[in-house]
């Protein structure tokens, strides 16, 4: 639940989670075991293709929600079901309350429904004097504790057996042992009694099949079978997004949903109900059955060109399972009612700007969620879009406007960077770090040292570095990105050096500027588009076949971000696509295009380990190239634990949430140190800034370098 007034308040809530040792340990183990379980479940499956089919099917259904509703209604009514449509949460709650009162129900058992959480149904029913019991074990536990879920699939993941034992002690009036098996048995007996007494059952629905008016419910515990069988009245509450034309659509989702949620091939129970079935507790031995559809903004969402894909979500929870921020702070802080990446987005639409304002900023843009999403939703992008939308609605903060203004004016931006070099002179150390932070940074930024601006920017060194190639085999252009251009020009020099002997003609278009990702991260989409156009124009001047970018973040933004930003712009969309075609990251160019060979390198290289930048391994889906390259270049590469987990940089994220950034950083460095390597290599200057700064503060002996620097050094002279 989100109750924080402002970002400061929100951050102090995050601090509480960070200090919760049980939560941290639980979520750490979960993150690691989930990853393995999911990989195992999908090992013989073309999961990307399946996800694409699901996305297409869901998009199609989203565009015909109204027709599907009519068809469902017709078929369900023919089988004796009452079908309702509620425009918002209040109306849904009111309808269900009235059904209960009309049928003279007193006691209600419920099986899990995120939609009922969305409408806060229990509160409403309890206000009417009805007794409501959740029967999913996790939901029951949090209901007894009067709190919301911290995970969409495992709502009580934040609680320990001791807390549960205490709670059950209160419920039963008997002292409890802390043995989990026994606690589960106690719940079995307590809830069995509740089913026996209930006169109304409420369930959710994972699928509403229009062709037959059927609902499909997925559970592991089997509680939905009892909830829909014993009481004489059954109400199913479902979002309109659960409507789907055919059984086939549902079976397709079932090929991914359980595997993605918990690594199971299929959940223990999938229950299909068409119509008012036999119920021996009802007078005519027929169940009184209702299906209540909830709109609550879904119809409008379906019409939104950018956000309509949100309706694809099948609520598998995977986007939380892999999120490094969720792993640190848990679901109460990484969501309001819906949790994880999708929660950040849905909160805005279902629960309003107030609840979403702080939340949407808490995404490091690592892309882990999009990589596993069962419905192929581009979650990080939509999170940024929400942030931008909120700023458009409420006014952009001064810092963000300024950043946008500066970035769109390349000359001004570069002049400012050069001026900063003079300003930092008094605090600059010989080792390339700033002795203490300039006044604009808060003290809490001190978890990592910040680098100084280089004496000479790469663009000023370029005339001396540019290789002279008489008969070029390859024509390439370099995209530097601001960090390499102004802070780490050596990385670019090394990039160019490592092409030696392959007849590569290199060009460096001077009109290039910041890639614009920081502006996008700050919600300044207009500025992000402006710089995108400037950069595309700058590179159109060059006849290069490849645009090489040794900054993973820039590369992924140039390749995928630009096309999305300029989508629908008749002039610029095709130009963005042509530009994107040419973008290649450093390691792929070396391994796949130049196909460098071991005999070009010295064979006794140092022991190194690797950090896979989010924007390379997921953003560009480049996984083998850097690892192959290190081995080819004669380096003794020792893989690192959790190599593909974010280092915590995330650009402006690390400024906004230093406490989270530093946790991620320290975990990353501990893993790297544990390999016993002398050097930690990676292919993103942003990560390097973060990692080096952390190494400096820890006083670690680990050396952090760009992979190009190590490769250039290994090249035989």
Does residue 79 bind another protein (CB under 8 A)? Answer: yes
Q: Interacting stretch for another protein, rule CB under 8 A, among 47-55, 75-83, 451-459, 617-625?
A: 75-83
Does residue 182 bind another protein (CB under 8 A)? Answer: yes
Closest to ligand SF4 by CB, 367 or 634: 367
Other beta carbons within 10 Å of 283: 8
Does residue 159 bind another protein (CB under 8 A)? Answer: yes
Does residue 154 bind another protein (CB under 8 A)? Answer: yes
The dihedral formed by the CA atoms of 173, 175, 179 and 181, expressed in degrees to the nearest 10: -30
Q: What is d(CA 584, CA 485) in angstroms, rounded to the nearest whole number?
A: 18
Closest to ligand SF4 by CB, 520 or 675: 520
Q: What is d(CA 307, CA 379) in angstroms, rounded to the nearest whole number?
A: 10
Contacting residue, 3, 70, 268, 670, with another protein by CB under 8 A: 268
Q: Interacting stretch for another protein, rule CB under 8 A, among 209-217, 294-302, 303-311, 589-597?
A: 209-217
Instruction: List, in sequence order, every residue forming a beta bridge with 356; answer none if it has no partner.
Output: none
Helix (H, G, I), strand (E, B) or coil at 523: coil
Task: Show the site string, 264-303: x = touches ligand SF4 by CB under 6 A, - = not.
Answer: ----------------------------------------
Q: Interacting stretch for another protein, rule CB under 8 A, among 89-97, 134-142, 552-560, 597-605?
A: 134-142
By rule CB under 6 A, what count of residues binds ligand SF4? 27
Closest to ligand SF4 by CB, 367 or 523: 367
Contacting residue, 15, 24, 26, 421, with another protein by CB under 8 A: 26
Contacting residue, 363, 515, 551, 554, with ligand SF4 by CB under 6 A: 363
Q: What is d(CA 292, CA 314) in angstroms, rounded to the nearest whole number?
A: 18
Q: What is d(CA 200, CA 106) in angstroms, rounded to the nearest whole number?
A: 8
Q: What is d(CA 466, CA 474) in angstroms, rounded to the nearest whole number?
A: 14
Contacting residue, 102, 123, 192, 577, with another protein by CB under 8 A: 192
Does residue 175 bind another protein (CB under 8 A)? Answer: yes
- Tell whether the torsion through CA atoms of 668, 673, 676 and 680 is positive or negative: positive
Q: What is d(CA 400, CA 522) in angstroms, rounded to the nearest whole number?
A: 6
Q: What is d(CA 303, CA 405) in angstroms, rounded to the nearest whole number?
A: 32
Q: Among all chains, which residue has been given the structure tokens 């203490």?
A: 436
Closest to ligand SF4 by CB, 116 or 478: 116
Axis-axis angle for helices 247-254, 47-63 (nearest 10)? 140
Contacting residue, 60, 74, 272, 394, with another protein by CB under 8 A: 272
Identify the DSSP state of 674. Answer: H
Q: What are phi and psi of 293, to 5 degrees?
A: -95, 140
Q: What are phi and psi of 585, to 5 degrees?
A: -80, 165
Closest to ligand SF4 by CB, 92 or 319: 319
Q: In the sheet that 583-585 helps form, which strands lie side by side, from edge to edge?
A: 504-507, 474-479, 546-549, 583-585
Contacting residue, 36, 281, 442, 510, with another protein by CB under 8 A: 281
CA neighbor of 516 nearest in space, from 527, 506, 501, 502: 527
DSSP string, 583-629: EEEHHHIIIIII---GGGB-S-PPEEEE---HHHHTTS---HHHHHH
Contacting residue, 204, 263, 335, 367, with ligand SF4 by CB under 6 A: 367
Q: How far is the CB of 223 from another protein (least distance, A)?
A: 5
398: CB partners within 8 A, 6+ apart = none
The partner in contact with residue 255, picked from ligand SF4, another protein, none with C-beta cut-offs of 5 to 8 angstroms by kind, is another protein
Closest to another protein by CB, 114 or 453: 114
The partner in contact with residue 101, picked from ligand SF4, another protein, none with C-beta cut-offs of 5 to 8 angstroms by kind, is none
Does residue 284 bind another protein (CB under 8 A)? Answer: no
- Tell whether the torsion through CA atoms of 624, 326, 521 and 310 is positive or negative: positive
Q: How far is the CB of 29 from another protein (least distance, A)?
A: 8
Task: Show the site string, 224-263: x = touches another protein by CB under 8 A, - = not.
Answer: -xx-xxx---------------xxx--x--xx------x-
Task: Show the site string, 312-341: x = touches ligand SF4 by CB under 6 A, - = not.
Answer: -xxxxxxx--xxxx--------------xx
The partner in contact with residue 369, picked from another protein, ligand SF4, none with C-beta cut-offs of 5 to 8 angstroms by kind, is ligand SF4
Does residue 188 bind another protein (CB under 8 A)? Answer: yes
Q: What is d(CA 648, CA 552) in angstroms, rounded to the nearest whole number?
A: 15
Does residue 113 bind another protein (CB under 8 A)? Answer: no
Q: What is d(CA 431, CA 236) in angstroms, rounded to the nearest whole number?
A: 65
Enumerate binding residues for ligand SF4 (CB under 6 A): 313-319, 322-325, 340-342, 363-369, 373-375, 377, 379-380
């Amino acid at each position: 639940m989100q109750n924080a007034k402002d970002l400061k308040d929100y951050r102090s809530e995050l601090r509480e989670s960070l200090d919760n040792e049980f939560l941290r340990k639980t979520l750490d183990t979960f993150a690691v075991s989930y990853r393995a379980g999911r990989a195992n479940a999908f090992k013989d499956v073309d999961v990307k293709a399946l996800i694409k089919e699901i996305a297409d099917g869901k998009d199609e259904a989203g565009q015909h929600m109204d027709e599907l509703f009519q068809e469902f209604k017709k078929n369900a009514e023919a089988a004796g079901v009452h079908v309702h449509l509620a425009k918002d949460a209040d109306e849904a709650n009111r309808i269900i309350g009235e059904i209960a009162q009309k049928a003279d129900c007193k006691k209600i058992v419920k099986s899990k429904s995120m939609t009922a959480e969305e409408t806060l149904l229990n509160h409403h029913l309890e206000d009417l004097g009805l007794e409501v019991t959740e029967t999913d074990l996790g939901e029951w536990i949090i209901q007894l504790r009067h709190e919301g879920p911290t995970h969409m699939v495992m709502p009580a993941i934040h609680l320990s057996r001791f807390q549960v034992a205490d709670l059950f002690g209160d419920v039963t009036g008997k002292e409890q042992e802390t043995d989990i098996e026994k606690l589960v048995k106690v719940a079995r007996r307590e809830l069995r009694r509740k089913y026996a007494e209930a006169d109304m059952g409420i369930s959710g629905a994972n699928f509403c099949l229009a062709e037959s008016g059927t609902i499909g419910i997925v559970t592991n515990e089997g509680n939905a079978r009892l909830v829909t069988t014993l009481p004489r009245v059954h109400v199913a509450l479902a979002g309109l997004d659960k409507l789907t034309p055919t059984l086939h659509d549902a079976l397709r989702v079932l090929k991914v949903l359980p595997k993605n949620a918990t690594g199971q091939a299929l959940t223990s129970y999938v229950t299909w109900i068409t119509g008012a079935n036999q119920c021996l507790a009802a007078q005519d031995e027929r169940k009184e059955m209702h299906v209540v559809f909830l709109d609550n903004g879904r119809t409008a969402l379906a019409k939104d060109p950018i956000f309509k894909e949100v309706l694809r979500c099948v609520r598998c929870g995977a986007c939380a399972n892999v999120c490094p921020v969720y792993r640190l702070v848990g679901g109460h802080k990484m969501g309001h009612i819906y949790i994880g990446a999708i929660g950040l987005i849905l909160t805005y639409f279902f629960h309003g700007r107030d609840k979403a304002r702080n939340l949407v900023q808490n995404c490091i843009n690592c892309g882990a969620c999009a990589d596993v999403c069962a419905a192929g939703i581009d979650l990080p992008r939509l999170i940024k879009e929400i942030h931008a939308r909120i700023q458009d609605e409420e006014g952009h903060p001064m810092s963000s406007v300024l950043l946008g203004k500066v970035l769109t004016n390349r000359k001004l931006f570069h002049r400012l960077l050069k001026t900063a070099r003079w300003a930092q002179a008094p605090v600059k150390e010989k080792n390339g770090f700033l002795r203490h932070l300039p006044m604009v940074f808060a003290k809490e930024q001190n978890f990592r040292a910040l680098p100084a601006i280089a004496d000479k920017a790469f663009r000023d060194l370029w005339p001396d570095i540019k290789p002279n190639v008489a008969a070029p085999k390859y024509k390439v252009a370099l995209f530097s990105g601001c960090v390499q251009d102004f802070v780490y020009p050596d990385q670019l020099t090394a990039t160019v050096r490592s092409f030696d002997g392959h007849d590569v003609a290199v060009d460096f278009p001077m009109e290039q500027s910041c890639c614009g990702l920081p502006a996008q991260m700050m919600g300044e989409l207009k500025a992000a588009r402006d710089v995108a156009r400037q950069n595309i124009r700058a590179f159109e001047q060059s006849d290069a076949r490849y645009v090489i970018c040794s900054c993973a973040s820039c590369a992924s933004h140039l390749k995928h971000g630009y096309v999305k930003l300029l989508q629908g712009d008749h002039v610029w969309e095709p130009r963005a696509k042509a530009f994107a075609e040419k973008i290649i990251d450093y390691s792929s160019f070396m391994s796949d295009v130049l196909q460098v060979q071991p005999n070009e390198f010295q064979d006794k290289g140092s022991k190194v380990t690797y950090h896979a930048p989010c924007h390379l391994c997921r953003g560009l889906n480049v996984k083998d190239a850097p690892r192959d390259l290190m081995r080819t270049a004669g380096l003794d590469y020792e893989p690192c634990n959790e190599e593909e987990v974010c280092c915590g940089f995330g650009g402006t994220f690390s400024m906004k949430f230093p406490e989270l950034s530093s946790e991620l950083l320290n975990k990353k460095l501990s893993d790297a140190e544990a390999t016993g390597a002398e050097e930690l290599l990676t292919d993103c200057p942003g990560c390097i800034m973060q990692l080096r700064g952390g190494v400096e503060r820890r006083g670690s002996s680990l050396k952090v370098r760009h992979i190009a620097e190590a490769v250039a050094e290994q090249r035989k002279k």
